[in-house]
Every structure is written in structure tokens, then in C-alpha cells.
């Protein structure tokens, strides 16, 4: 029979599971659902907005308020957000706030897609011109290269998208298109004059006051009245999972993870059995793989990183006196810096954060590779080969055979020169369990030893006496 205590424990356990899985319990009741875009627009941003709109629809919200302060981001993620806004059953207001915020590039497109577009004082929007590979764009209109043609297609595609959004929402098509083809930016006052936004609001209270009772035009052509005077704000924050993956998708973090991955695997290869560096390296590279699957990647940067790994591996196998290691370090630094080909500076690796760490880790990897190669060339210090060159004491006279004490054990030994008892000897060869030695100090009257009768000159393999 279940007791109330077990039931309460089960409810608490379920709540913990919801929390760690990144799920949200329904907020319940009508209200104004508040979402935020406070960073570069990337796949996690698109998933978060889609989830928030779905929850608002399920909870019966009267309005979805998306507060924006973004430099823009990926075109694919921007398209996903605008599509979900256009499909929303609940009216959506996009509000560029607080004062000093911006809705640039992709943020401008999101602003255009809203049922109600609002800006705070001292904000700006626009500059939605697409950026090509490597952050550049063709400057010559007569340029007919493959890159120029591809870029022109991208520009035309973006221009068509904003024209469509402006037409759907009843905004100024020409002003919207100029933001794409001419990279024009607008202040909040200019955006009002160009009919790109509906009004300027100082804060949320001012926004709600101006919104209440307003008729808005939905994407399907219908009109809806906004009644939100007495509604409360219901914020939907990022889940723990979304925060984590948003952190991983930060280009600066991707750069550090690449370096940690290479360093961890490098340490594990040169120091087998440490385990921890290998685990850290493997996990870091798996997170990098996830990030690169969701970010625009420069194949040249990928090629340089692969080349760096190959050069480090070659340094372990081939004696190049550090040349392969140094070349690998250079390839890793340049390849990582060029790896992410994002449309805005905020989504690219910054030299100021990447270069110092890259140089440090690249130098350590080059050192490990060079060190591993030099260790292979050192003479053996263990086993039979490790005995050669070691010193010992003659326990008996060697003429030519006898016994010596070396490396903590008694050995049978032979010498071409006569060795008196107690003399210092040096091991020159090892034959089974017998040593071949020579005196450390050769006496002037020293003569070749005489072999005992019946011996054929071969050295017998004798057991050492410890």
C-alpha cells in the first residue's frame, strides 16, 4: 500500500527529472509570454523561440513578446525563427530593447516578421546585407567569378525574403530592401518615418499601454484585436540544456575546445595510461563535432587542422628534429582561427582570445612530439642493453674468466685482458647470463689472458649468483 510520503517523494522526483531534462511544466492561464534574443542568432536560438511559441499557444497566452538585442547571425536560424513567428496562432510583438540595443542583420529580419514591431529610444536596426565566405563581399559589379555569382544569389534571396515579410506585414518594402542591398541602418525615429516599425516604447509598461486595443494584421491576412491591459508577464527562460549548448556554440569556446581536444589526445598518446587527458580530449572533440555541425565551417580551416594532426603524428614516428612539430603548431594556430566562417564578427574566433591559448598548447604539443622522438634515440637503460657501459668490481681474477659484481648482482664474466681481483671493470657486452668486460684502467704490463686448456674459446652461458 502506498503512503502519502511515497507519493510526495514521487512528485518531487518527477519535478527533478523535468528540471534536468530541460522540460517546462505548463505555465497555465493566459498572459503575455516573454522570450529573449540576447546573443547572436544560431540553432539554439531558433529552437528556443520555437519552443517558447509552442508553450504560449498551449497555455493560451494573449501575446508573445520577443525582446531583441542581437548583432544578427546565421541565415538558416533566422529563417527558422521568422517561419515560426509567421505560423504562430498567438500575435507576436518583437521589441528592440533596452535603450542602446540593436536588431542588426538577422535581427532586422526577425523584427520585420512580427505582427507588431517596436523599438526603444536610442536603438537601431537594419544592416542586413549578407556576408560571404571569409567575411567579404565582391566589390566589383562586373565581377563574374563563381564566388561573385554565388554571393549575388545569396543577396537576391535575402532581399526577396525581406520584401515578402514587409509586404505581408504592411511595411515599407523599399526601405526594407535597402537594409539588405545597401546595408542601410535605421534609428528608431527613422524606422518610424520609413514605416518599418509600428511605434516606439520607452519600457514594457509603455509598450502594453500603446498595444492595448490595437488591431494587428496577421500573416494570413486576418486582423486581431490586442487586449493585454490586465495581463501579467510570463517569462520563458532558456533551459539548462539550451544554455549549455548555446555556450558550446560560442566560437570562442569552440576554439578552446579544439585546443583542449588536441592537447588531451596528444598527452594520452605520449603518456599512455594517464586516462584523464585522453577523456578530456575525447569529450572536447565530440563537443567540437556538435558545434561544427551547427556552425558555418571553412573547409580550409578544417584541412589545416587535419594537417596539424598528421604532422604531430609524423613527429612521433619520424626524427625531424622538431620541424614536423613546429609545422603542426603553425597549421593548428592558423586552421583554428580560420575554422568558423560566420557572417558577423561576433560569431567568429577572435585572435585576442584564441591566439595566446593556441600558441601555448601548440608549443606543448610540439615539445611532446619532439621529446617522444628524442627518447626513442636514447640508449636503453633497462634489460640486457642497459648493462652495457656500466661499471663493476672483479670479485675474482679474470684470466680470462671469473666473477664480477655489477648492478647489485654477481655475474660470470670474461675479459680479453687479465683483470686482478678487486679491479674496476666496464661491461662491454652481454651474452646470455654472462658478461664480457674490460678493465677500466689498463696496466702497461697487462697482457692478453690465457684460456684454460680444453676450452674452445667460446664463452659459456653461466648463471649469475645474486
Consecutive sets of 10 residues in the chain, 466 residues long: mean pLDDT of each? Answer: 40 40 44 94 95 95 95 92 95 95 94 96 89 50 60 86 93 94 94 95 94 85 83 92 91 84 76 79 90 83 83 71 76 80 72 75 68 58 67 89 85 87 89 85 60 40 36
| Entry pTM | 0.67
Q: Report the pLDDT value the prediction gives residue 406, as an integer from 0 to 100.
A: 86
Instruction: Determine the pLDDT at residue 240.
Output: 94
* pLDDT value of residue 326: 76
Report the pLDDT value the prediction gives residue 237, as an integer from 0 to 100.
94
Side-chain-side CA neighbours of 56 within 13 Å: the count stands at: 31
Q: Is the dihedral of CA 120, 123, 128, 134 positive or negative?
A: negative
Going from the N-terminus, what domains does the chain have, and what CATH number goes with each? 28-241 (3.90.226.10), 250-377 (no CATH), 380-466 (2.40.50.140)
**pLDDT at residue 453, rounded to an integer:** 42
Half-sphere exposure of 325 (CA within 13 A, CB side): 25
pLDDT at 319: 64
Amino acid at each position: 500500500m502506498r503512503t502519502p510520503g511515497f507519493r510526495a517523494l514521487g512528485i518531487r522526483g518527477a519535478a527533478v527529472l523535468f528540471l534536468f531534462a530541460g522540460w517546462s511544466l505548463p505555465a497555465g492561464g493566459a498572459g503575455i509570454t516573454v522570450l529573449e534574443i540576447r546573443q547572436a542568432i544560431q540553432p539554439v536560438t531558433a529552437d528556443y523561440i520555437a519552443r517558447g511559441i509552442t508553450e504560449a499557444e498551449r497555455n493560451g497566452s494573449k501575446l508573445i513578446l520577443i525582446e531583441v538585442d542581437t548583432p544578427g547571425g546565421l541565415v538558416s536560424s533566422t529563417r527558422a525563427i521568422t517561419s515560426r513567428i509567421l505560423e504562430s496562432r498567438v500575435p507576436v510583438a518583437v521589441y528592440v530593447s533596452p535603450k542602446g540595443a540593436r536588431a542588426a542583420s538577422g535581427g532586422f529580419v526577425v523584427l520585420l516578421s512580427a505582427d507588431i514591431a517596436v523599438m526603444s529610444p536610442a536603438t537601431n536596426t537594419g544592416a542586413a546585407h549578407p556576408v560571404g565566405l571569409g567575411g567579404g563581399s565582391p566589390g566589383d559589379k562586373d565581377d563574374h567569378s563563381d564566388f561573385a555569382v554565388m554571393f549575388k544569389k545569396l543577396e537576391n534571396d535575402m532581399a526577396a525574403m525581406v520584401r515578402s515579410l514587409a509586404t505581408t506585414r504592411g511595411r515599407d518594402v523599399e526601405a526594407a530592401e535597402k537594409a539588405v542591398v545597401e546595408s542601410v541602418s535605421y534609428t528608431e525615429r527613422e524606422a518610424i518615418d520609413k514605416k518599418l516599425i509600428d511605434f516606439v516604447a520607452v519600457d514594457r509598461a509603455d509598450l502594453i499601454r500603446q498595444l492595448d486595443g490595437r488591431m494587428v494584421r496577421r500573416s494570413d491576412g486576418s486582423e486581431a484585436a490586442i487586449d493585454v491591459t490586465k495581463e501579467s508577464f510570463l517569462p520563458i527562460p532558456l533551459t539548462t540544456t539550451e544554455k549549455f549548448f548555446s555556450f558550446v556554440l560560442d566560437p570562442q569556446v569552440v576554439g578552446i575546445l579544439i585546443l583542449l581536444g588536441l592537447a588531451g589526445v596528444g598527452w594520452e598518446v605520449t603518456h599512455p595510461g594517464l586516462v584523464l587527458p585522453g577523456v578530456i580530449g575525447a569529450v572536447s572533440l565530440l563537443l567540437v563535432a556538435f558545434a561544427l555541425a551547427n556552425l558555418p565551417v571553412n573547409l580550409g580551416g578544417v584541412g589545416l587542422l587535419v594537417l596539424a594532426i598528421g604532422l604531430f603524428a609524423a613527429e612521433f614516428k619520424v626524427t625531424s628534429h622538431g620541424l614536423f612539430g613546429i609545422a603542426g603548431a603553425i597549421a593548428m594556430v592558423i586552421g583554428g582561427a580560420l575554422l568558423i566562417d560566420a557572417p558577423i564578427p561576433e560569431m567568429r574566433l577572435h585572435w585576442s582570445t584564441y591566439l595566446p591559448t593556441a600558441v601555448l598548447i601548440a608549443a606543448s604539443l610540439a615539445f611532446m612530439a619532439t621529446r617522444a622522438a628524442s627518447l626513442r634515440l636514447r640508449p636503453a637503460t633497462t634489460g640486457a642493453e642497459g648493462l652495457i657501459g656500466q661499471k663493476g668490481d672483479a670479485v675474482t681474477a679474470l684470466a680470462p674468466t671469473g666473477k664480477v659484481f655489477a648492478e647489485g648482482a654477481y655475474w660470470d664474466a670474461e675479459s680479453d685482458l687479465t683483470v686482478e681481483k678487486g679491479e674496476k671493470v666496464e661491461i662491454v657486452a652481454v651474452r646470455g647470463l654472462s658478461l664480457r668486460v674490460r678493465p677500466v684502467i689498463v696496466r702497461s704490463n697487462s697482457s692478453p689472458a690465457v684460456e684454460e686448456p680444453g676450452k674452445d674459446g667460446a664463452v659459456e652461458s653461466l648463471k649469475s649468483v645474486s
